[in-house]
A and B are shown apart, each in its own frame.
Chain A
Amino acid sequence: MSTVKLDAKIPSGNLADKWSNYKAHQKLVNPANKRRLDIIVVGTGLAGASAAASLGELGFNVLNFCIQDSPRRAHSIAAQGGINAAKNYQNDGDSVYRLFYDTIKGGDYRAREANVYRLAEVSVDIIDQCVAQGVPFAREYGGLLDNRSFGGAQVSRTFYAKGQTGQQLLLGAYSALSRQIGRGSVRLFPRHEMLDLVLVKDGDGTERARGIIARNLVTGALERFSAHAVVIATGGYGNAYFLSTNAMNSNGSAAIQIYKKGALFANPAYAQIHPTCIPVHGEFQSKLTLMSESLRNDGRIWVPKKKEDAEAIRAGRLQPTDIAEEDRDYYLERRYPAFGNLVPRDVASRAAKERCDAGFGVASSGLAVYLDFSDAVRRLGEATVEARYGNLFQMYEKITDQNPYKTPMMIYPAIHYTMGGIWVDYELMTTIPGCFAIGEANFSDHGANRLGASALMQGLADGYFVLPYTIQNYLSDQIRVPRFSTDLPEFRDAEAAVRDKITTLMNIRGKRSVDSIHKELGHVMWEYVGMGRTAVSLEAALGRISEIRDSFWGDVYIPGDLGGMNVELEKALRVADFIEVGRLMALDGLNRNESCGGHFREEYQTDEGEALRDDLNYSYASCWRYRGEGLEPERVIEPLDYEFIVRQQRNYKS
């Protein structure tokens, strides 16, 4: 079927020995040679900043890019709840194996065993590293680190810093990065956006990633940068849905650029819908705000048992506090007694949708459920609840004008994270030699569903402890390769192509604003490629997306000019790529005739409404290869062989 054969380069040996074996036998680059090698890192989130800092410390010359005014703004900063690590500090039975197992199971058996085991293994080093940097994790009175629980786990292995864990971890990585910038080993290019990857052919005909074309967002100038390797750390593509918990500028463009240059886009359909977000309020809403999963430690999720109560609440005739205890349906506790409110995200999201679709939803829209803290306030007192979740409660109150200490929060699922991404091998290298993808930008570790507090873990694992090793195995061959001139024809041509694309966009001079098209795309994605998908809805999505594509390239209007800052142009370039992402998501969803994790095909469910996998036919990563403008991408598969664990139907009931 396919012309490309994927080699994941999984090291041999027992699961627990693979990473040690790899490190023992990989090739390294000596200090004198490191100085002669340049590495471009695009992105400064947890993965990008930790990678750039660590590579700089090792002695490589690093060029680091971000679209914001400072590396500290990257959207990792918004992660609230925590970071998992198999420290077993609580003596509650945790281990590297258990974290590995929970992650594989949480991902509905659609991730690579070897990668996930490595992730669990290095998780313990991450916590040590962050503490050494001065990250103020929460502590017990005795001075030891505190932990909390997250979904999909029966142990407490989540480390946290109030409700601002992502912020503190990112600032830790940012401080390490800043130290290297101060020392000159990393050169930082803020307000620069990558617009293409540059490939240069070797003497032996191998095309390798050798640089990027970036746009200086302040001056509008296109600039060329060369390097011996390029690392993509630009996060996920959730903003294809327009409304998501991602930051306004988060985008999937670097992923699409390298996809068009030969990297494979794997499992695009796997998007995570987070169960606890503040519901949508109006047509001008620009983004959705997440309420951390950690709230499910103490908050209980419910809707009214009686439809008439739900109707009265929607009409404003009843308040949630009017509903008697016996008339409340704590549906997660009812359906999943073993995990209760702490089931994984995909399960919790679908359960909320199921109740709302059945007519039990609250809020005037009927698209919300309650997250109630009254029990916790009674049990622990308001002060303790405030100490645990104060900043989240404050954020909720500022947005909704309601006090969650007194009345339950209203929440509804929203797009939050994308498990799919650029295909990488065990070394985190894409199918383009010299081009790596790390953090959320790659597809590697979360399978079809990511567990809470695991994104921070993976971003930092890749950046601190995996890539700085594996990239050397590639670069050891490159030590004789001199620095590249950006005057090479490959750079000139890549820049010209980017300039043409921008000129084409600017010259459309149509009638529609970029945002209006983006919103239309988002609506189609949510309706047809959202929480529940069917072959019919996905077919419809493909049709609608191609219409949206036509109206974008035929009717978009971008004011201003090419020179200088042009925010509308920046958005337009990203939306052009979101349209491509949306198409890939729908294609992939249509191909995968099973339900797994965040990909729920309504045709494939158990009698109890749970996701029904088809391991016989779909135990693979589906990877899409670009074949040119207007052509269907080719599907390449990486079979997932489970050597070490037995796959089961996920069970969070008993």
Chain B
Amino acid sequence: MEKVINITLKVWRQRGPKAKGSFETYRLDGISGDTSFLEMLDILNERLVGGGLEPVAFDNDCREGICGMCSLYINGHPHGPDSLVTTCQLHMRHFNDGDTITVEPWRSAAFPVIRDLMVDRYAFDKIIQAGGYVSVNTGGVPDANAILISKDKSDEAMDAASCIGCGACVAACKNGSAMLFVSAKVSQLSLLPQGQVEASRRVKAMISKMDELGFGSCTNTRACEQECPKGVSISHIARLNREFLKAKLSE
């Protein structure tokens, strides 16, 4: 039979980046287990708007776990208690009747709160802009099959490339480190022949930008890997460190 639950929500409300925030408590009854977490927040917002109040601001877009727009720190976990999902794919069947659910924004110095549960993750874009690409212009490139790439390498590059840039790794890390995010891109491109030519320039530029933007350093707690909705492995951090060392040694 379909599960229906009553819950209490403690939601972080904050007017703006400089404003002081606080938790507000809301009660929601009769939530179906098949409702997604964000649909549950839609229900809350409909109620708030119906009462003439401002809705809770939260980022969301594709609602199928791929755009990386949704965030939310739910009961102490980025993207909530279920594994390998983003918040938009989390369903209320994972909660029990009578639960109190705490909902906070990502908390990291590099991701300032914009409003309520919405944060500014532009720092991630800046890291990519610093070197997370292969420098090729449109046109004039070789035939796609001209360079053979082993299936293993290609599959591993794909695993790294599956990062959605949501920032859960940073939110999960006690140091606020962006190493998993950076390593996913560095690893993807260093596994492919196309990324080799500027590998050392890339890794140095991305690491230096990451440090400049106020992300912390990695102490191998593996919290990022645990909470990553796409299961990006910290073995990519090991590869990043290797690439960085290689680049430094060749200076």
Chain A residues with CB under 8 Å of chain B are: 50, 53-54, 57, 68-75, 77-78, 87, 89, 125, 127-134, 136-145, 161-162, 164, 166-168, 171, 174-176, 178-179, 181-182, 188, 190, 218, 247-249, 281-282, 284-287, 289-290, 394-395, 398-399, 401, 464-465, 468, 513, 515-516, 557, 559-560, 564-565, 567-568
**Chain B positions 126-144 with a Cβ under 8 Å from a chain A Cβ:** 128-139, 141-144
A287 touches B142 (CB 8 A): no
Considering only CB atoms, which chain A residue lies closest to B149 in the complex?
Answer: A143
Q: In the assembled complex, which residues on chain B have CB atoms less than 8 Å from the CB atom of A287?
A: 63-64
**Binary CB contact string for chain B from 41 to 69 against chain A (1 if under 8 A, 0 otherwise):** 01100101110111101011111111111
Query: Are B49 and A70 neighbours in the complex by a CB distance under 8 Å?
Result: no
Question: Which of A130, A144, A468 makes the CB contact (< 8 A) with B145?
Answer: A144
CA distance A168 to B155 in the complex (A): 13
Tell me if B172 counts as interface (CB < 8 A to partner A).
no
What are the residues of chain A within 8 A of B118 when measuring CB–CB? 565
Does the CB pair A401–B93 fall under 8 Å?
A: yes
B113 → chain A, closest Cβ, in Å?
11
Known interface pairs A70-B124, A565-B115; A140-B61 also in contact (CB < 8 Å): no
A559 contacts B54, C-beta separation under 8 Å: yes
Residue positions of B touching A, CB distance < 8 A = 16, 32, 34-36, 38-39, 42-43, 46, 48-50, 52-55, 57, 59-69, 82, 84-85, 89, 91, 93, 114-115, 118, 120-122, 124-125, 128-139, 141-145, 147-151, 154-155, 157-158, 161-162, 164-165, 188-189, 192, 194-195
Report chain B residues within 8 Å CB of A50: 138
Query: Contact between A69 and B122 (Cβ–Cβ < 8 Å)?
Result: yes
* The one of A134, A178, A284 that contacts B35, using a Cβ cutoff of 8 Å: A284
Contact pick for B36, options A130, A131, A286, A516, CB 8 Å: A286
**A53–B195 CB distance below 8 A:** no
**In the complex, which residues of chain A have a beta carbon less than 8 angstroms from the beta carbon of B132?**
175, 178
Q: Is A134 within 8 A of B63, CB to CB?
A: no
CB atoms of A559 and B68 under 8 A apart: no
- With beta carbons under 8 angstroms apart, the residue of A68, A132, A557 that contacts B136 is A132
Chain A residue with minimal CB distance to B15?
Answer: A564
Determine whether the beta carbon of B57 is less than 8 Å from that of A134: no
| With known contacts A176-B133, A179-B129, A282-B35, A557–B188 Cβ distance under 8 A | no
Cα-based distance from A89 to B129 in the complex (angstroms): 34
Picked from B61, B139, B144, B158, the residue with its CB within 8 Å of the CB of A73 is B61
B189 and A134 contacting across the interface, CB-CB below 8 Å: yes
- B142 near A182 (CB under 8 angstroms)? no
**Contact across chains for A179 and B135 when beta carbons are under 8 A apart:** yes
Q: How far is the CB of B90 from chain A (nearest CB, A)?
A: 8
A–B pairs, 18, beta carbons within 8 Å: A54-B138, A70-B122, A72-B125, A77-B67, A87-B144, A132-B136, A136-B157, A161-B158, A175-B128, A179-B129, A179-B133, A179-B135, A182-B131, A218-B114, A281-B34, A286-B63, A559-B54, A559-B55
